[in-house]
């Protein structure tokens, strides 16, 4: 598969186990891993910042995360890049932390007590957060919360080593990082709806940790960039064998949604696109699009056999309950269904048992919570596990849309696609994505390949618009860019 990655996402328990067993099984001394981590952090800092021009502050806690920070301070010192180093002088730290602290003392490198940070916090342009790692246990400690608030109030860029200090799912105070340099493996705690915005840009820094040391099941993956797949499509086709897509929806006042979806499916490669809508909308669709066939639910039986994919939901609000029942009757056909938008308010989750082929659901978090009420109480704080369990339980694929995408497969695997892009947070984006999915999957793609290729196209166009200076976009222009070589 073109999306396969070595960017695995681990739980706290798995991370602790892989770290512990690196010495037991691989005979790698912990201090060696600490030095390796600090070297990787230094290299990444040098890529992201002009360190000689920054006024740098390093905050070191008294655990191993603080040890990483002190090791980094020494490496900066020997490159003649100077920083103010703050520590908790009244605390006795871990063995590795105390070892790093002794090394700095032998070099006469000054360590400042954390209590003095308030006086100088606004003089720094770059703050290195090495206060706490994944083992943070001082929740609701008022002194620690004041330090977090102080960091977040400043204008300096914050780089957190391994994890933003205090990161939690209880909405307690924590460091809001601009960058997080994750050491070894990515953390599940990064990818909850409540925490993702506090992590900033994620850099995945590999060190000598063996994934086999924690019995990892290879179920949670992270993708930041995707390459275009090397897939040769057959040229000996006609419009139906090339792939056809039906889009069902577009009620009064919402006709744009179904047109965007249908047009996007054709631009994505469908040989033919059909819109099924209410009779009162037919003339308007015909006036708005020269590319789409349009008809009513009553006549869907005349078309359905010739089409491979069916999108249900964009602008859907059919007043006639008989029309809703007619739509439900096609669920048992061996077609790839994409369920979006209003589908989740018109139908309930029991209909998922009707589908002959696992459907693709593309809800926002609120739509997910409304549709899967019983299963989603912890969605914001345990996002990946909830999506994994629901997609497996209901034998479906899920693309949960937030600032990042959580993609669940029918066997419970989860893929995080993490490319936050403000320009996509506008009306019409979901309709276009569903159309791209319908168009790509109407061709010779497997379900997982088609989903990820659709997402790649969607985000590459968004990035192009962003780099071109757009703050928002016209949906028609976005759709016109699908398939353009300048983009793809």
Task: Enter the tokens of residue 363.
Answer: 């809800």
Q: What is d(CA 340, CA 400) in angstroms, rounded to the nearest whole number?
A: 11
Same domain flag for 164 and 285: no
Same domain flag for 409 and 311: yes
CB 192 within 8 Å of CB 381 = yes
Strand order, beta sheet including 244-248: 220-223, 414-417, 405-408, 397-401, 360-362, 336-340, 309-312, 244-248, 272-276, 293-295
Domain final residue, candidates 167, 194, 212: 212
Q: Is residue 1 part of a domain?
A: no
Tokens 């019983």: give the residue. 374
Q: Is residue 75 part of a domain?
A: yes
Instruction: Give the pLDDT of residue 90.
Output: 94
Same domain flag for 255 and 176: no
Instruction: Give the pLDDT of residue 353.
Output: 97
Q: What is the pLDDT along the chain (488 residues), one digit of tens a residue?
A: 444 556 899 999 999 999 888 988 899 999 999 999 999 999 999 999 999 999 999 999 999 999 999 999 999 999 999 999 999 999 999 999 999 999 999 999 999 999 999 999 999 999 999 999 988 877 778 899 999 999 999 899 999 999 999 999 888 899 999 999 999 999 999 999 999 999 999 999 999 998 888 877 778 999 887 777 766 677 777 666 788 999 999 877 789 999 999 999 999 999 999 999 989 899 999 999 999 999 999 999 999 999 999 999 999 987 778 889 999 999 999 999 999 999 999 999 999 999 999 999 999 999 999 999 999 999 999 999 999 999 999 999 999 999 999 999 999 999 999 998 999 999 999 999 999 999 999 998 999 999 999 999 999 999 999 999 999 999 999 999 998 855 54
**pLDDT tens digits for range 151-173:** 999 899 999 999 999 999 888 89
Same domain flag for 369 and 425: yes
Same domain flag for 330 and 269: yes
Q: Is residue 295 part of a domain?
A: yes
What CATH number is given to the structural domain containing 16? 3.40.50.10260
**150-175 b/e with 16+ CB inside 10 Å = b?**
ebeeeebbbbbbbbbbbbbeeeebbb
Q: Which residues are CB-contacts of 233 (< 8 A; sequence separation ≥ 6)?
A: 269, 443, 444
Same domain flag for 207 and 272: no
Q: Is residue 130 part of a domain?
A: yes
Same domain flag for 357 and 413: yes
CA distance to 324, 398, 407, 455, per residue, from 223 (Å): 37, 16, 11, 11
Q: Is residue 319 part of a domain?
A: yes
User: How many beta carbons lie within 10 A of that of residue 265, not counting itself?
Assistant: 36
Q: Is residue 224 part of a domain?
A: no
Instruction: Give the pLDDT of residue 2.
Output: 44
Q: How many domains are contained in the chain?
A: 2
Same domain flag for 176 and 254: no
Q: Is residue 368 part of a domain?
A: yes
Same domain flag for 44 and 91: yes
Task: Enter the tokens of residue 392.
Answer: 């497996």
CA distance to 117, 128, 349, 420, 428, per residue, from 431 (Å): 49, 41, 21, 18, 5
Q: What is d(CA 256, CA 245) in angstroms, rounded to the nearest whole number?
A: 17
Domain final residue, candidates 168, 194, 212: 212
CA distance to 15, 33, 326, per residue, from 183 (Å): 10, 10, 53
Same domain flag for 170 and 260: no
Q: To 10 degrees, what angle do helices 64-78 and 30-48 make?
A: 60
Same domain flag for 116 and 28: yes
Q: Is residue 61 part of a domain?
A: yes
What count of residues does the chain have?
A: 488
Q: What is d(CA 205, CA 299) in angstroms, rounded to the nearest whole number?
A: 56
Range of the domain at 160: 9-212
CB 239 within 8 Å of CB 271 = yes
Instruction: Give the pLDDT of residue 486.
Output: 53
**pLDDT tens digits for range 249-301:** 987 778 999 999 999 999 999 999 999 998 989 999 999 999 999 999 999 99
Q: Any bridge partners for residue 86, and if so which?
A: 59, 112
Backbone angles phi, psi at 179, to 5 degrees: -135, 145
Same domain flag for 314 and 451: yes
Domain final residue, candidates 162, 197, 212: 212
**pLDDT tens digits for range 4-51:** 556 899 999 999 999 888 988 899 999 999 999 999 999 999 999 999
């Amino acid at each position: 598969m073109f999306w396969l990655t070595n960017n695995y996402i681990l739980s706290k328990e798995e991370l602790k186990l892989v770290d512990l067993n690196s010495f037991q099984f691989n005979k790698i001394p912990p201090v060696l891993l600490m030095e390796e981590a600090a070297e990787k952090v230094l290299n990444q800092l040098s890529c992201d910042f002009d360190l000689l021009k920054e006024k740098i502050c390093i905050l070191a806690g008294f655990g191993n995360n603080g040890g990483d920070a002190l090791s980094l301070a020494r490496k900066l010192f020997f490159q003649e890049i100077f920083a103010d180093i703050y520590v908790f002088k009244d605390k006795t730290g871990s063995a590795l932390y105390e070892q790093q602290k002794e090394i700095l003392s032998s070099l006469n490198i000054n360590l400042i007590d954390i209590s003095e940070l308030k006086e100088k916090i606004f003089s720094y342009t770059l703050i290195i957060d090495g206060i706490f790692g994944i083992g943070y246990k001082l929740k609701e400690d008022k002194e620690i919360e004041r330090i977090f608030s102080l960091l977040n109030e400043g204008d300096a860029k914050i780089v957190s080593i391994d994890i933003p200090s205090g990161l939690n799912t209880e909405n307690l105070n924590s460091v809001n990082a601009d960058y997080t340099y994750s050491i070894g493996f990515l953390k599940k705690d990064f990818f909850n709806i409540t925490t993702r915005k506090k992590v900033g840009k994620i850099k995945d820094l590999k060190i000598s940790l063996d994934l086999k040391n924690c019995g990892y099941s290879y179920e949670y993956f992270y993708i930041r960039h995707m390459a275009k797949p090397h897939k040769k499509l057959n040229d000996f086709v006609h419009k139906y064998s090339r792939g056809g897509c039906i889009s069902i929806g577009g009620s009064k006042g919402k006709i744009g949604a179904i047109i965007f979806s249908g047009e996007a499916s054709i631009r994505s490669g469908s040989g033919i696109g059909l819109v099924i809508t209410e009779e009162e909308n037919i003339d308007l669709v015909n006036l708005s699009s020269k590319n789409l066939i349009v008809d009513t639910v009553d006549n869907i039986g005349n078309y359905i056999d010739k089409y491979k994919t069916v999108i249900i939901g964009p602008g859907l609000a059919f007043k006639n309950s008989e029309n809703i029942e007619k739509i439900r009757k096609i669920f048992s056909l061996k077609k790839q269904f994409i369920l979006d938008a209003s589908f989740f308010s018109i139908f309930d989750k029991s209909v998922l048992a009707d589908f002959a082929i696992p459907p693709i659901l593309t809800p926002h978090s609120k739509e997910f919570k409304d549709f899967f009420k019983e299963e989603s109480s912890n969605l914001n704080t345990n996002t990946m596990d909830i999506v994994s369990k629901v997609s497996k339980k209901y034998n479906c694929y899920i693309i949960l849309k937030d600032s990042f995408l959580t993609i669940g497969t029918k066997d419970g695997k989860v893929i995080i696609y993490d490319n936050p892009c403000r320009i996509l947070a506008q009306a019409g984006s979901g309709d276009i994505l569903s159309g791209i999915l319908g168009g790509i999957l109407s061709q010779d793609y497997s379900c997982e390949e088609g989903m990820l290729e659709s997402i790649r196209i969607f985000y590459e166009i968004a990035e192009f618009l962003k780099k071109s200076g757009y703050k928002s976009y016209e949906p028609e222009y976005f759709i016109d860019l699908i398939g353009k070589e300048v983009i793809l």
